[in-house]
Amino acid sequence: MFLCPACGLAHEPVEGGLETFTPVTVRPTTELAASGPVRHLAVWQVAVKVDAQVDSAWERIRRVVSPAEPHVYVPAFSMIRPVVQRLGLSLTEAQPELVAAEGPPGSKSRRPSLVDGEAAERADVPPGDDARDRAAGPVTPVVLGRRDARVLANFVFLAVESHEKHELHSVEYQLEPTGEELFFLPAVWDPRYMRESSWRLLLREFDGLVA
């Protein structure tokens, strides 16, 4: 998928040409200070219709966010299984409130005030880091499209259902994706956050994970 850095429009190859749409840049809502350059992670928010067991993890999430409907979140910036699983699991369990920011991701007009001066301009990737998991600049690439998000929504859903289980069991469910929206979530790289694949999301729902 191609992202225009000037206007922020995304262009996805489809049969017969390109489909153009506007992704949503999310502003930080964390109440904690952050250090290091802020990057924006491409994540699909997938609307789904789910028929699951009454005692399932999904039904518990649904009761918490009611009357709204929960979404499944599929990271779009990596094809590495642990990244998709861990970050997708964390976001789907948290069901964060995403507040839109102005301007395309990475633009100076919407740079978070948590980042000062030249820190946000740096595009360095420390030696040894996997470039497939991290972006060199302020915005990650988008390597998973809508069709991928629909397929991987099942993978993330099963990760949610099995997260707190201590033994293997079958999961009876039906999941039908009904729509997708691309978001760019603010985050900083911190290897201490293993559960989120070393990304600290700058959203209030994740402040409790910070010591």
Q: Give the whole-angstrom CA distance, residue 179 versus residue 205.
A: 24
Give the CA radius of gyration of the chain: 17
Instruction: Please tell me the predicted confidence (pLDDT) of residue 104.
Output: 66
In the chain, what is the straight-line distance between the N-terminal and C-terminal CA atoms, in Å?
36
Instruction: Please tell me the predicted confidence (pLDDT) of residue 7.
Output: 82
pLDDT tens profile 27-61? 999 999 888 899 999 999 999 999 988 889 999 99
Residue among 39, 43, 24, 23 nearest 200 (CA):
39
Answer whether residue 112 shows pLDDT above 50. no
Which residues lie below 8 Å from residue 3, measured CB to CB, with a gap of 6+? Answer: 9, 10, 11, 23, 104, 105, 139, 141, 142
- In terms of Cβ atoms closer than 10 Å to its own Cβ (0-12, 13-18, 19+), residue 129 is middle
Q: Please, which pLDDT band fits residue 125 given cuts at 50, 70 and 90?
A: very low
Q: Please, which pLDDT band fits residue 210 given cuts at 50, 70 and 90?
A: low
Torsions phi, psi of 68, nearest 5?
Answer: -70, 165
Which residues lie below 8 Å from residue 64, measured CB to CB, with a gap of 6+? Answer: 95
Is pTM, for the whole model, over 0.85?
no
> Higher confidence at residue 125 or residue 148?
148
Instruction: Please tell me the predicted confidence (pLDDT) of residue 193.
Output: 83
Instruction: Please tell me the predicted confidence (pLDDT) of residue 168.
Output: 55
Cis peptide before 13 (omega within 30 of 0): no
> Higher confidence at residue 123 or residue 14?
14
Q: What is the mean pLDDT of residues 119-128?
A: 38
Q: Please, which pLDDT band fits residue 16 given cuts at 50, 70 and 90?
A: confident
Task: Decide: 87 and 75 in contact? Cβ < 8 Å.
Answer: yes
Instruction: Please tell me the predicted confidence (pLDDT) of residue 167.
Output: 63
Which residues lie below 8 Å from residue 183, measured CB to CB, with a gap of 6+? Answer: 23, 24, 25, 26, 42, 43, 44, 45, 98
Query: Which DSSP symbol is given to 211?
Result: -
